Amino acid sequence: MALKLVVLCLVLIEFAIGDVIVQTYDGKIRGISQQTRNGITYNSFLGVRYGKNPINELRFQPPIPVDPWDDVFDATTEKGICYQVTLDSDLETEDCLLLNLYTPMDLSSNSSASLPVMFFIHGGGFVEGSGILEWGVGPQFLVEYGVIMVAINYRLGPFGFLSTGDSVIPGNVGMKDQLMALQWVQRNIKYFGGDPEKVTIFGQSAGAASVSYLLLSPLSKGLFRAAILESGSALSPWAYQRNQVEISFQTAAVLNQEFAENRNSSDLLEYLQSISGKEIDVASAELTAKIQNAGNLQISKGFFYTPVIEQQSDDAFLTNLQYESFANGLFNNVPVLIGFNAEESLFMISDGFPAILEAYDSDTKLVVPFDMHIGDLDVKQAVGDIIKQFYIPGQNFQDSLLAGVKYHSNQDFDKSVIKQAELQAPYIPVYFYEFTYSGKMGNNPTHLDGSGAVGHGEEQNYIFGRWYSDELPDNTDLSQFPQADVNVHYRFMTLFTNFAKYLNPTPEQEEILQNIIWPTVQTENFQYLQIDTDLSVNQGYPKSKMYSLWTNLYETYGTKPFDTF
């Protein structure tokens, strides 16, 4: 870790051109002025506090706004990250309600101009991840397109998503952290040259699911005007937990066997607020390792610590089922840009994947989505046989890694993302994409003959500058990449920033976009943009045979109301 910090400091010094102090609503903040490789000046404000340290009696509670300060807040270096269930880092802390802000606006001038804001929510299954530079969320590309970028931390794992299913620990405080960060932007972004009425939220994986949930929550109304979702949805099966009460008490029971029997929510809260954050972090990791197995995959049934449905209250984040809300137009009415990559589940190829496929062959009912709510075991077996026949006709899953990967890409990502777009299209402008270009800049080491070549998260390498990270290769020197890679990079940047600026990714024909006009999804005409070596507009659903299969299965055998899909 010390080496990482030294490298980071050297990079900051190399590109730094001076400090800058901004007077905000809460107090003065000192940032640092820097330049991109292309000589564009921007100002970085790192580790800005947007909420109080959520420890002791504030643990598991909605965030509290920061108090105003008199001194100058030092935002020239990064600080901590939230506790990670699946990782162990020296940077972990509960004092993590922090954001990074990058603005290309000349803050020393008296310009009255105001820039669009792109507010990024990181992924990581609600159990890991961060918006910090060291983890690859760099602004160097975005600021060159005349937008302000904000990247946040929010509480993860049990700290952000523990729930007793009642008023004691309602849950969703990680989502409420995101709301508070958006409220901070509304109060303060004007001081950095931003327009609070031009905020676009965007996220990848669990970050995209977060964006989806923010679309659904009445508490987020008016905090943003557009949304971009990369490879995730509130409809994704991994992004929702139905058994949150059991998981909460199981987490506590790892540390105190009393809670194997005691189901008193107040006792649970009192106990978990009395111990260290590290103990809770370790317990959540132990529980995950204990419960997860080849026949009980979180990615198919819901990660243990995710958003939940709350009881009705004035500060409830979510009280209605996601699927029903999207189907009935009960969401924030803003334009949406949404899509996925060619083969999202390439990351599942590992030493443990054959055991998962063996479990599917031993009990085909395991491939039937939990969210179909099929209680009859004979029906479930029949549906499992249909699914298996579609992916691996006349054979076993163990005979083909390819079949297993495609099943998980479709089941865990593709169908839910398409379904959200389809459900929202009658109410708002929806732009859908599929990313199919495999290039050096994507930095994907995993390939499988016969599969799509673009894996989960690969598009982020074309969007975020990564010269701060010693874990990821520097991608800001575009001369190292083939021209086709550079073109894809320019196209992603142009499409996404156009959407943030104009609420339309292609407001007019542009040469870099090959003069394509990206049409919206229509109720009776699903059109989408394929992002490959060239751009193309395609008619019909992406992966249409897959989507037809799953839609028919849910309609024929599923039990409504659905929550995820």
pLDDT tens digit string along 384-412? Answer: 999 999 999 999 999 999 999 999 999 99
Question: Are 357 and 467 in a shared domain?
Answer: yes
Question: Are 254 and 117 in a shared domain?
Answer: yes
In a domain, 314, yes or no: no
CB-based contact 341:231 (threshold 8 Å): yes
Question: Are 403 and 475 in a shared domain?
Answer: yes
Question: Are 278 and 386 in a shared domain?
Answer: no
Say yes or no to pLDDT of 527 above 70.
yes
Q: How far apart are CA 419 and CA 427, in angstroms?
A: 14
Query: Is the four-CA dihedral 308, 313, 314, 315 of positive or negative sign?
Result: negative
- CATH classification at residue 69: 3.40.50.1820
Among residues 278, 301, 324, which one ends one of the domains? 301
Q: How far apart are CA 501 and CA 220, in angstroms?
A: 20
In a domain, 225, yes or no: yes
Q: How far is CA 79 from CA 63, 97, 329, 381, in A?
A: 18, 10, 40, 51
State mean pLDDT over 213-220: 99
Q: How far is CA 21 from CA 28, 106, 199, 557, in A?
A: 7, 12, 23, 61
In a domain, 222, yes or no: yes
Question: Are 289 and 361 in a shared domain?
Answer: no
Number of domains in the chain: 2
Least confidently predicted of 58-62, 345-349, 431-435, 450-454: 450-454
Question: Are 361 and 289 in a shared domain?
Answer: no
Going by the DSSP 8-state scheme, the letter that residue 411 receives in this structure is I
Q: How far apart are CA 74 and CA 155, in angstroms?
A: 22
Query: What is residue 470's predicted lDDT score, i.e. its pLDDT?
Result: 66
Q: What percent of the chain has pLDDT over 90?
A: 87
Q: Supply the range of the domain harboring residue 119.
A: 20-301
Question: Are 214 and 357 in a shared domain?
Answer: no
User: Which residues neighbour 184 within 8 Å (Cβ) at sequence distance 6 or greater?
Assistant: 50, 65, 99
In a domain, 6, yes or no: no
Q: How far apart are CA 123 and CA 306, in angstroms?
A: 12
Q: How far apart are CA 31 and CA 291, in angstroms?
A: 44
Chain-wide mean pLDDT for the chain?
Answer: 94
Q: How far is CA 559 from CA 49, 356, 404, 551, 554, in A?
A: 45, 26, 25, 13, 8
In a domain, 73, yes or no: yes
Question: Are 81 and 164 in a shared domain?
Answer: yes
Residues designated catalytic: 205, 344, 456
pLDDT tens digit string along 32-48? Answer: 999 999 999 999 999 99
pLDDT tens digit string along 142-169? Answer: 999 999 999 999 999 999 999 999 999 9
Question: Are 276 and 381 in a shared domain?
Answer: no
Query: What is residue 469's predicted lDDT score, i.e. its pLDDT?
Result: 62
Among residues 283, 301, 319, which one ends one of the domains? 301
Question: Are 97 and 174 in a shared domain?
Answer: yes
Q: How far apart are CA 82 and CA 98, in angstroms?
A: 9
Question: Are 407 and 258 in a shared domain?
Answer: no
**Band of residue 545 on the pLDDT scale cut at 50, 70, 90:** very high
DSSP 39-78: --EEEEEEEEE-B----GGGTTS---BPPP-SS-EE-SS-
Query: What is residue 2's predicted lDDT score, i.e. its pLDDT?
Result: 39
Say yes or no to pLDDT of 100 above 70.
yes
CA dihedral 189, 192, 193, 194 (to 10 degrees): -30
User: Which residues neighbour 5 within 8 Å (Cβ) at sequence distance 6 or greater?
Assistant: none
In a domain, 315, yes or no: no
Q: How far apart are CA 562 and CA 553, in angstroms?
A: 13
Say yes or no to pLDDT of 218 above 80.
yes
Question: Are 212 and 346 in a shared domain?
Answer: no
**Band of residue 130 on the pLDDT scale cut at 50, 70, 90:** very high
CA neighbours closer than 13 Å in the CB half-sphere of residue 178: 33
In a domain, 91, yes or no: yes
Element spanning 202, H or E: strand 194-204
Among residues 301, 324, 344, which one ends one of the domains? 301
Query: What is residue 499's predicted lDDT score, i.e. its pLDDT?
Result: 99
In a domain, 8, yes or no: no
Are β-strands 535-539 and 73-74 bridged in parallel, bridged antiparallel, or unpaired?
unpaired
